[in-house]
Chains A and B, each alone.
Chain A
């Protein structure tokens, strides 16, 4: 491939590759289980739905992360945004639990967006700092112990009940996906995210209010992380320290595997969706194979690096 110009096709390529890789993971896993146990749990709808249910938390975080990455920025504060939202929601309890959790997300997003867009602090540093501040606040809030408050019934219902045999968390994930996809494709705000991510200077000189776009994008990311945190608390019936820690890197990985340019400006939401599914299935196949933790990490990391190397070919963008 000598074509240096990105086209619609080059945007779709990662989605096809990642989808193909999902099939590879499923077949390798199935061959393994058939040969060792004689069953094929990976192909049963019940098992897959259960995997997607746990994957929906990651999916919601990744949806918000993608919006920020499209701008060429990154949000490293999602882990403790999740935890903070979950803890505050369980602390408040009652009907206000979920609104309070979401409000935490809005607040964190505003702070991140203000720091990045107006104070011009690099997002990598600023959001990392905010993450640390949130962790400190939560430790102070709980005194360092596991909080005793439990999730409200509505939170539990959203995360672990079933609707027509399908976990309701999947419906929430789908709803969030729909909103983000339509926003990116069909609203001025969404298109301005792409414009700004491609070349902030040209977007600014075209009369795009680039700072507001950046601010709003961080709010979207904060809200998504907060929603995921609230649901995760519902799933495990309570909030706990560090509950979001396992989500930061997989969320970034899912977005990038889905073909979103880490430098911003390019990417489709469908890709992020595929990226999340790939990561969830890869994790579950590795655990079915009873791979020791060390091996799991090595394989997991190698897969991400290899996929990015494959995408890198023929994708030399920009003069």
Chain B
């Protein structure tokens, strides 16, 4: 370490989001000229941490100091002024502007108050040359670039802000292997110039190769910081897991042979799903594990008829299942239901009443001819509210007035009203309280006992272990591990999620230039 004083230091920082803690009393320090890796599961608080450091979020309590002086950033521009630059997971480029416009978007070079195009272009060329992207034309529109090139432009843009601390949040996830190599060299260069980097990645081998220091986060807490090589892979995985068990799960039935209901063979879609084969029995709960964005969501949407151009074969009870839309998927012959990922935009019409939301998928069931039968509709709504014990004043209140847990219950009740056979759930307990979570776990088991086929994606590994008869771990669009019975452990899931020591060779997705 070249400096004895940390360039960025957090002490006692906490951050809460509507009841859930994202960070709890975190002390963290990063030194000049270090490449500091940050590890943790989904929702461990990594993103919140870097958002606080880069000024996007403000801590509820605690202090942030840069170079020993206490600071409080009101917005990312303040942070950039102090030399803290972040490359975010979600790209922040404007697709319809040129590469050079994007690179100097925040503070373009000016002459007489007007943007100096020539200086801007020169600046863009220099920065691009620095990351070996001379092939990118500074005048090209960002929308014409491939994902990998865009990510490199993003890095050039960050370099243009002359960082003292560079934060990379999953910045290499979209890069081709050649560009990944370039980024490694760049980070080494920056290190030599005494610039420090905070590096977040889900790829263990990258972190091992690059970082001098590693910090592990879990459940919003900073668990441990240690030098590279001080811990083995196994130990790191265990540090990332070891959490308090905060939910009770209904007992699982003893494993028994079940008649096959849903069968998926060699399913593939674009780049997101790769040769997935899976068979689920009647009354079985199968979990999908893995890190966010490994194709789990696409798999569920694909089965529900949302994606175009799927390859492979799906059968339900031996009959081919190729719905062209959710409307076809819910029909009597298939009876598939999907509880989508984001209840606020995909599951509910927030401004409409609870009753309307509950009936949204079932108007045909409560109608006589073309007219809705008011009695049947009221009965169905009352049944739905009673069955899931939705806490509500009146069914005519807007669904937005309910708590998150009760909103999610409305989404589930909406689908149960269609009497589905196959139930697909996309992270149904995200962001809801423990009590409601337990009700949902019990409900899932009850439904399975009634002979429903359930496929559950969850970002919470404990949930997969507690609820599922089998767990499939996905990585980069394919299933890399199938666990059942006692083999479903956090260690096994986390190891498979990171694909360490996995059977499938690591493949870097390399989208080609269009």
Residues of chain A at the chain B interface (Cβ within 8 Å): 5-8, 186-189, 191-192, 194-195, 198-199, 201-209, 265-266, 317-319
Indicate if B327 sits at the interface (CB-CB under 8 A).
yes
CA distance A204 to B306 in the complex (A): 9
Complex contact B340–A205 (CB within 8 A): yes
A205: B residues at CB distance < 8 A: 304, 306, 326, 338, 340, 346-347
B338 to nearest A CB, angstroms?
A: 7
* Bound: A198/B345 CA distance, A: 10
- 7 A-B pairs with CB atoms under 8 Å apart are A6-B400, A187-B370, A199-B345, A202-B347, A206-B414, A207-B330, A266-B351
A265 and B306 form a contact (CB under 8 A) = no
Q: Which residues of A contact B326 (CB under 8 A)?
A: 204-207
User: In the complex, A208→B362 CA distance in Å?
Assistant: 9
| B247 close to A (CB within 8 Å) | no
B residues in contact with A207, CB < 8 Å? 325-327, 329-330, 361, 418
Docked Cα-Cα span, A315 to B490, in Å, equals 47
Measured CB to CB, the closest approach of chain B to A156, in angstroms, equals 33
A7-B398, A195-B356 given as contacts; is B329 within 8 A of A187 (CB)?
no
Contacts of A204 in B (CB 8 A): 325-326
B401 CB contacts on chain A under 8 angstroms: 5
B223 at the interface (CB under 8 A from A): no
Contact A201 B364 (CB under 8 A): no
Which chain A residues lie closer than 8 Å to B338 at the CB level?
205
Residues on the A chain within 8 Å of B212, using CB:
none
Is B363 positioned at the interface, with any CB of A under 8 Å from its CB?
A: yes
Further pairs besides A5-B398, A6-B351, A202-B347: 5, Cβ < 8 Å = A194-B349, A198-B350, A201-B345, A204-B325, A207-B361
User: Which residue of chain B has its CB nearest to the CB of A212?
Assistant: B327
C-alpha gap A194/B401 in the complex (Å): 19
**Complex CA distance for A183 and B359, rounded to whole angstroms:** 16
Query: Please, which residues of chain A bring their CB within 8 A of the CB of B363?
Result: 188, 191-192
CB-CB nearest in chain A for B371: A186
The distance from the CB of A188 to the nearest CB of chain B, in whole angstroms, is 4
A318→B370 contact, CB < 8 A: no
A207 to B363, CA, bound (A): 10
B361 touches A191 (CB 8 A): no
A179 to chain B, nearest CB (A): 12
Would you call A195 and B372 a contact (CB within 8 A)?
no
Q: Are B372 and A186 interface neighbours, CB within 8 A?
A: yes
A205 to B356: give the CA distance in the assembly, Å.
15
Q: Is B238 an interface residue when CB atoms closer than 8 A count as contact?
A: no
How far apart are A169's CB and chain B's nearest CB, in angstroms? 27
Give the A-B pair count, Cβ closer than 8 A: 89
Q: B352 at interface (Cβ–Cβ under 8 A)?
A: yes
Contacting A195 at CB < 8 Å: which of B346, B360, B397, B398?
B360
Question: For residue A318, which residues in chain B have a CB less than 8 angstroms away from its CB?
Answer: 350-351
B372 touches A209 (CB 8 A): no
Residues of A within 8 A of B350 (CB): 198-199, 318-319
Assess whether B190 is interfacial by the CB under 8 Å rule. no
B96 near A: Cβ within 8 Å?
A: no
CB distance B325 to A209 under 8 Å? Answer: yes
B61 CB to closest chain A CB, in angstroms?
26
Q: Given contacts A5-B401, A189-B370, A319-B344, are A194 and B327 in contact (CB under 8 A)?
A: no
Contact A194 B356 (CB under 8 A): yes
Query: What's the minimum C-beta distance from A249 to chain B, rounded to whole angstroms?
Result: 27
The answer to whether A198 touches B340, judged by C-beta atoms less than 8 angstroms apart, is no
* Least CB separation from B350: chain A residue: A318
- In the complex the two chains form, is B397's CB within 8 Å of A188's CB? no
Chain B residues in the interface with A (C-beta under 8 A): 304, 306, 325-327, 329-330, 338, 340, 344-352, 356, 359-361, 363-364, 367, 370-372, 374, 396-398, 400-401, 414, 418
CB-CB under 8 A from A266, the residues of chain B are 351
Q: Establish whether residues B398 and A202, one from each chain, have CB atoms under 8 Å apart when the complex forms.
A: no
**Contact among B325, B346, B371 with A187 in the assembled complex (CB-CB below 8 Å):** B371
What residues of chain A lie closer than 8 Å to B344, measured between beta carbons?
319
| Contact for B346 among A6, A201, A317, CB less than 8 A | A201
CA distance A209 to B348 in the complex (A): 16
Residues of B within 8 A of A201 (CB): 345-346
**Docked-complex contact B351 and A195, CB < 8 angstroms:** no
Interface centre among A6, A8, A202, by most B CB within 10 Å? A202
Instruction: Count chain A CB atoms within 10 A of each CB in B363, B400, B401 and give the residue with the most.
Output: B363
CA distance A266 to B327 in the complex (A): 24
A190 to chain B, nearest CB (A): 9
Interchain CA distance A317-B400 in the complex, whole Å:
10
- Flag if B367 contacts A203 (CB, 8 Å): no
Nearest chain-A residue to B360 (Cβ)?
A206
Is there contact, CB below 8 Å, between B400 and A209? no
A7 surroundings in chain B (CB, below 8 A): 397-398
Q: Chain A residues near B345: list those with CB within 8 A.
A: 199, 201-202
Residue contact B352 to A198, C-beta cutoff 8 Å: yes
With A206-B414, A207-B330, A207-B361 as contacts: A8 and B347 at CB distance below 8 Å: no
Known contacts A199-B345, A206-B414; A188 and B360 CB within 8 A of each other = no
Q: Write out the residue numbers on chain B whose beta carbons fall within 8 Å of the beta carbon of A206.
A: 326, 360-361, 414
Residue in B closest to A192 when the chains form the complex, CB atoms: B363
A207 CA / B352 CA spacing, docked (Å): 17
Q: Which single residue of chain A is at the shortest CB-CB distance from B373?
A: A186
Q: Which one of A188, A189, A208, A265 lies within 8 Å of B351 (CB-CB)? A: A265
With A188-B363, A188-B372, A189-B370 known as contacts, the answer to whether A198 contacts B330 (CB < 8 A) is no
In the complex, which residue of chain A has the Cβ closest to the Cβ of B370?
A187
- The smallest beta-carbon distance between A67 and chain B, in angstroms, is 16
Contact, CB under 8 Å: A265 / B352? yes
State in angstroms the CA–CA spacing of A189 and B364 once bound together. 10
**Chain B contacts for A6, CB-based, 8 A:** 351, 398, 400
Question: How far, in whole Å, are A205 and B349 apart by their CA atoms in the complex?
Answer: 11
Select one of B327, B352, B370, B398 contacting A209, CB under 8 A: B327
Q: Shortest beta-carbon distance, A117 to chain B, in Å?
A: 13
Q: Which residue of A lies closest to B304 (CB)?
A: A205
List chain B residues, Cβ under 8 A from A199.
345, 348-350
Kindly provide the distance from the CB of A263 to the nearest chain B CB, expressed in whole angstroms: 11
Chain A residues with CB under 8 Å of B397's CB are: 7
Contacts of A265 in B (CB 8 A): 349, 351-352
Q: Which residues of A contact B371 (CB under 8 A)?
A: 186-187
Complex CA gap A186/B359 in Å reads 13
CB distance from A292 to the nearest CB of B (A): 43
A265 to B372, CA, bound (A): 19
Question: Which of A5, A187, A191, A209 has a CB less than 8 Å from the CB of B356?
Answer: A191
Contact B327 A208 (CB under 8 A): yes
Interface centre among A201, A204, A205, A319 (most CB of B within 10 A): A205
Contacts of B367 in A (CB 8 A): 187-188
Pair B400/A5 contact, Cβ less than 8 Å: yes
